[in-house]
Structure 1
Amino acid sequence: MINPNVSQPHNQEVEKTKMKARSFIKKIIIISQSTSLIVGKLQSADIDKMGATNYPACKLTVFKPKRYSIGNTFQFNMEDQGIYFVNKPEMIMTLDEISDKYPEIFREIHINVGKGVWDGA
């Protein structure tokens, strides 16, 4: 049941998020979460309902995601494939967008790209 006191993301925002994400399919993306960044190769972007709620969100399927803390440190490798829900286009970033904001993570991602970490997706 939808709680009327909780604001829902607008479908337009979710649609914009999906369109932005689809332009990055098969590319390395960064998903900005409140305390961490998820880095991986985007495999698909669709609109789906998040969990048991009726809230629409953009569902991203990411190949070999890696989690970094906002403090620029690597935390851990995740599963071979991860599913993440986002509802704002600003939550999806490219390598160019993080180069100034998180230079240490940017350098580490480039090292991993050179090693072929995300090849095969």
Structure 2
Amino acid sequence: MPENVMIVDDSDFMRNLLREILDEEHHIVGEAENGVEAVELYREAEPNVVMMDIAMPIRDGIEATAAIKDESPGASVIMCTSVEQEEMMKEAIKAGADGYITKPFQKPNVLEAIDDAVAH
């Protein structure tokens, strides 16, 4: 079943990549470049799933995830991380992240992460 997905990443390339992966199976309801935009856009777009980059300027993905989860405990947030960001992943899980995918993204992993997050 298609989900309403919001993409948050400071890299145009990564947002485009995720959009291409998700476009056929899900609805993209918005994109943000940093954690401040992400929290504001979440309130407006009310997505089922947020694909959240960890390392971003202004406000990182961990802080943004915590803010979204404070307001909407049922939100599904999937962290997008580089392999070397393992310590940050632990922080993200504490902040309420529902799962994560590692770069470079593979379509099956991304779709599976969304299914898993929504199932919880």
TM-score (norm 1): 0.27
Larger Rg: 1
The structure with the greater share of residues assigned to strand is 1
Higher relative contact order (CA 8 A, sep 6+): 1
The structure with the greater share of residues assigned to helix is 2
TM-score (norm 2): 0.27
